[in-house]
Structures are given as C-alpha cells and as structure tokens.
C-alpha cells in the first residue's frame, strides 16, 4: 500500500523526504512554494539536486505537489484569473524540474457567478496551461462550501469532458463525505466509478471528517476519530479497486500509529 502524509518542505526542500521516511511513509505530498503566497521562489541548486537524488531511490513514491491556496482557476476577476494561470504554469514547470509527477489543484470559487461559469473558467485555464507529459494535473474535489467548484461528480466529469488536456483527479475522502457522498457504502463507490471512473483517480486524500455527511464543511479529523470512523474506513477499503492508489493523509496530527491503523483497516479484507 502507498501511504503517506502531507509533510513540510521547510528549510531545504529535500528534507521532506527525511520527514516522510521518519514517519514511515512511502509516498508524500508537499508544497513547493509558500502555500499562502503568490510568489514562487527559485530553489537553490544544491537543494534541487538533493531532492532529485532522494527521489531517485524510490523509497518515497509517488511524490505529489499541492498548489498554493491563493490561485483561483474559477475566478471571474480577470487579474486574479490570469495570475492564477501564471502561478499554475510556474508550479507545473517547477514540478517537472523536480521530477514530481503529480500536481494537485483546487478548483476555486466562482465568486457567486454560478457553477456553469466556474466550470467554464476552469476548463479554459486547463486548456491555456502549459501541461506537458511529465506532470499530471489532478483536480481535487471539494466539500461544497458556498460558491466552490468541483463538489459533485458531475462537475468534475464536465471539466474533464471540456478540457483538451489529459488530466486526472485527486479525491479527498473528507470532502466527498462532507459533500454528501457516503463513501462507506459500496453503492456510492460504484456511483463514483460510474460517473467519474476510478481509472482517472490517481490519488486519494485520506482524511476523516469532523462534521457529518453532507455538512459541506471542510474540517479534517484524524482517521477513525471523525464521522467516517474506523468501521467506515474499513468498509471503504473493502472496495478493492481503490487499494492500488496512493493515499495521502492531511489529518490534524500525524503519527506512526495512524499509519499503522490505516494499514490495519485496509488489510482486514
Ligand atoms: Zn487540497
Ligand atoms: Zn480539506
């Protein structure tokens, strides 16, 4: 099983590997620029080389990057929108320099202008972006808070249909649950497969939910401590098709115990 955490890439980016390995991860996610800023700093040559060397050992694989929070690919504000595409392009090119294969992005907010316009803007942004073969852009589902794009399977599928690039998806279990998809049920997982297709899901964000089904609140909880719960995750993992995917946790408190718990819950089948 490929299981890991979102880890810090502070100080020197290559240290993310050491942090992941110390926790017992064999995959990880990182930010490659300040998550709360627009600026993408040049990474020093030595750090970059150390990062690539550690990546080549294959101990932690795949390595996933997450876009910063400010870019909004759905935005109806022209200057934010063009800045967002520019940030996406820079992040994609930095991923390819670092031989990072997957980049996760949120789909942003249509700022009250409606889902249709939001989807159109995301599609447009993807089609304008410089997406090559080395890095696959993964669209992340949201919990469906006000004006957010990408909380339903239909919206995600519509973006894929509209875009002329090959993209994939990152499904967050907390966001699915908060959006009203009870992933502890086989029928719901079959619905996801039918409407979206697990073949295009390259990654799961594995998080429990602090709030109930359909709450539309994006609050992560440690695995087993939220509304999905241990039994819920155990039923989720019994849907074998998903087990080959990498799982990245973004829970409030990372620990080797939590990694072990997930391995137990996924191995009970
Ligand atoms: Zn995310
Ligand atoms: Zn979240």
Task: State the total domains in the chain.
Answer: 1
Q: How far does residue 200's CA lie from ligand 2's centre (Å)?
A: 20
Ligand with an atom nearest the CA of residue 218? 2
Percentage of the residues of the chain whose pLDDT score is greater than 90: 99
pLDDT in tens, 28-69: 999 999 999 999 999 999 999 999 999 999 999 999 999 999
Note the pLDDT of residue 136.
98
Q: How far does residue 66's CA lie from ligand 1's centre (Å)?
A: 7
Q: What is the CATH number of the domain that holds 216?
A: 3.20.20.150
pLDDT in tens, 193-207: 999 999 999 999 999
- Kindly give the interhelix angle for 115-128 and 153-162, rounded to the nearest 10 degrees: 40
Ligand with an atom nearest the CA of residue 170? 1
pLDDT in tens, 196-249: 999 999 999 999 999 999 999 999 999 999 999 999 999 999 999 999 999 999
Lookup result for tokens 């980049």: 103
Mean pLDDT of all residues belonging to the chain: 97
pLDDT in tens, 150-178: 999 999 999 999 999 999 999 999 999 99
Q: How far does residue 151's CA lie from ligand 2's centre (Å)?
A: 12
pLDDT at 269 over 60: no
268 — pLDDT class (breaks 50, 70, 90): low
Q: How far does residue 105's CA lie from ligand 1's centre (Å)?
A: 7
Q: Is the whole model's pTM more than 0.95, yes or no?
A: yes
Q: How far does residue 148's CA lie from ligand 2's centre (Å)?
A: 12
Domain of 91?
A: 3-267
Lookup result for tokens 């087990």: 243
Read off the pLDDT of each residue in 87-93 and give the average, rounded to a whole number.
97
């Amino acid at each position: 099983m490929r299981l890991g955490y979102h880890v810090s890439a502070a100080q020197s980016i290559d240290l993310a590997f050491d942090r992941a390995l110390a926790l017992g991860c064999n995959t990880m996610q990182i930010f490659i620029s300040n998550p709360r800023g627009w600026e993408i700093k040049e990474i020093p040559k030595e750090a970059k080389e150390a990062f690539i060397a550690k990546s080549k050992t294959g101990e932690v694989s795949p390595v996933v990057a997450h876009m910063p929070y400010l870019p909004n690919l759905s935005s109806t504000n022209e200057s934010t929108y063009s800045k967002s595409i520019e940030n996406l392009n820079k992040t994609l090119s930095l991923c390819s320099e670092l031989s990072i294969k997957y980049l996760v992005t949120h789909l942003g907010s249509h700022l009250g202008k409606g889902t249709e316009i939001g989807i159109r803007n995301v599609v447009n942004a993807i089609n304008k972006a410089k997406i090559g073969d080395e890095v696959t852009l993964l669209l992340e589902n949201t919990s469906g808070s006000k004006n957010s794009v990408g909380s339903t399977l239909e919206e995600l599928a519509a973006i894929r249909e509209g875009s002329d690039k090959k993209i994939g998806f990152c499904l967050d279990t907390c966001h699915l649950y908060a959006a009203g998809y009870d992933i502890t049920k086989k029928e719901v997982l079959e619905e996801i497969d039918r409407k979206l297709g697990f073949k295009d899901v390259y990654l799961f964000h594995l998080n429990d939910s602090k709030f109930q089904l359909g709450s539309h609140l994006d609050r992560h909880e440690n695995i087993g401590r939220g509304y999905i719960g241990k039994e819920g995750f155990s039923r989720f993992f019994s849907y074998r098709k998903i087990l080959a995917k990498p799982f990245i946790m973004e829970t409030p408190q990372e620990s080797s115990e939590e990694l072990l718990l997930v391995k137990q819950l996924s191995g009970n089948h």
